[in-house]
Amino acid sequence: MVEQVLEVDLDKRLGLKGVKYKYNLSKQQLFHEAIAHDRGRTKKGGGSSDQKCFPTKLGDQGPLVYYTDPDCTGRRVKDTYAVDWPEVHERVWWKDDLKAFPPDKYEALLKRVVEHLNAKKPTLYVADVYAGSDPFYAIPYRFIGEYAVHAMFAMNMFPKALKGVGNEELKRWVMLNVPSFECIPERDGTRAEAAILIDFKNKLCLVAGRADYCGVVKKTIFTVMNFLLPNQGYLSMHCSANIGKSGDSAILFGLSGTGKTTLSADPERMLIGDDETAWTGTSISNLEDGCYAKLIDLNKDAEPIIWDALAKPGTIIENVPPRPGKRMEEMHPHELDLTDKSITENTRFSYPLSANPNVAPGQRGQHPSTIVLLTADAFGVLPPVAVLEGRDVMYHFVSGFTAKLAGTEVGVTEPKEAFSACFGAPFMSHPPSVYAKLLRQKMDKHKARCVLLNTGWSGGPYGTGKRISIAHTRALLNAALRGDLDAGKVEYDVHPVFGLKMPKSCPGVPSEILNPRNTWKDKAAYDAQATKLRDLFRKNFEAKKFAELGIEPVM
């Protein structure tokens, strides 16, 4: 009955005819469907009929192992577009990773994709989930695609059967995911043979071609929520969040490698979410119901929860090969070589949030009392912690700075700056100032404190200095969460180059490391390196034209 209603609805909405649907199968059913039917390219130069999914030694009592197209082991940022309808043109932040797509080209491409499916008459997998754990703002999200593994991923990553969401059919977004279609750039107006298109007007996400990385199913709808929520006065954030025993919530922004996931996983605090969070007029809440963790170099002692989840049923391992000479079916998940980068360094693992034993009820918390901006400064010049006020918060939030290592070869010591506005620029569909102004308004209204927490290097840059110890970082974070670093409770130095307020003392942390200049033997070298980083901040600020968006320069 449900399938018949679905068939009528998708015929009316998209023009799909003669297509079979498998609707809301269990994850165990999808596990077997994916192994039996998901086919596509898995090797460079290979054909389009390779098996994509495999069981481990544990069968359906363990994870499903999935291999993406070799050209899509991560998000295809250069092939992500939004349809440039007149109704949305002025509100979208057009950029390299969200380019404008002409409406006429889009309509023609969508028609071709539908005709391709009508001619092929495949079985499509449908998963009805929600983007958002709070029914106050959550939207129904219907995944429709050729791969069972993608439906299984949606079931892992998003809330199901969320009660209290009104007008569901009116609010519903649909993703049509068709890996078997091949875009022709000269005909379709795309850059490559695959494209990801967001239609804000018609509530549709189209994935056409080999863009079969599981993260596309997650990050595309996150980009949608980043468009919808600010229009309602709510802040959507690329951050982790947790809540203390006294009910005090905290949010932690940070790019990859800064400690966002690690620091939010605190046995003394309940996890709200590790990646995507909404801040409404009443609370903060997780947009998801799962985790999509990096697996490369996973250490069972450092990340025991993820390690345990690796062998649980209903989860998905992406792009990890079996050990040489073995078939995946012969391997226990804990025997996999998680240092293996032969397919990609971006190996991933999807598992439900319930695998974490310490999750906040409903994945929600009250308005945050502490906001943390994380950076991992490989230049070695930012202080381990700095207290930020309103204009400083907006500046550092839109800067979204971290520093990555230039390479992994011995002797490569020159760090490389990375700026990503709002700590997630590719997914931000409005200009950065929209999110920055909302952040400041909410911070001021709810009297939230904010700190810049540096998890990077001290005593010199990468290759010379040392990484700030995790023990010191946790002590600084805990002090900030307790309010120990608030005005009136501690004395500050002001950094002469960055203008940052640096506490002179902090429980559990040697006072001499709090001013980073003290940790360098060569003070002139420190001053030169600090000036270099300050100039990089200024260059980024000017290049992004943040002043024109109403952001004040603070350095």
Q: Where in the sequence numbering do the catalytic residues fall?
A: 75, 219, 238, 256, 260-261, 275, 348
Strands 316-318 and 64-66, sheet pairing: parallel
Residue 71 amino acid letter? D
Residue 197's SS3 state is strand
Give all strands of the β-sheet with 139-145 in edge-to-edge order. 20-23, 123-131, 139-145, 173-178, 204-208, 195-199, 80-83, 99-101
> And the tokens for 355?
């695998």
Residue 118's SS3 state is helix
Nearest C-alpha neighbor of 298 from the set 308, 288, 289, 287: 308
- For residue 156, the tally of other CB atoms under 10 A from its CB is 27
Helices (H) and strands (E) in the chain, counts: 13, 30
Report CA torsion sign: 104, 143, 154, 133.
positive
Residue 307 is given by DSSP the state: H
Largest CA distance in the chain: 75
**How many residues does the structure list for the chain?**
555
**What distance in Å separates the CA atoms of residue 406 and residue 416, rounded to the nearest whole number?**
6
> And the tokens for 254?
């940070």
- For residue 330, the tally of other CB atoms under 10 A from its CB is 12
Residue 542 is given by DSSP the state: H
Q: What is the CA radius of gyration of the chain?
A: 24
Nearest C-alpha neighbor of 451 from the set 374, 379, 512, 382: 374
Nearest C-alpha neighbor of 422 from the set 262, 271, 270, 276: 276
Helix, strand, coil % over all residues of the chain, rounded to 5 = 30, 25, 45
Residue 340's SS3 state is coil
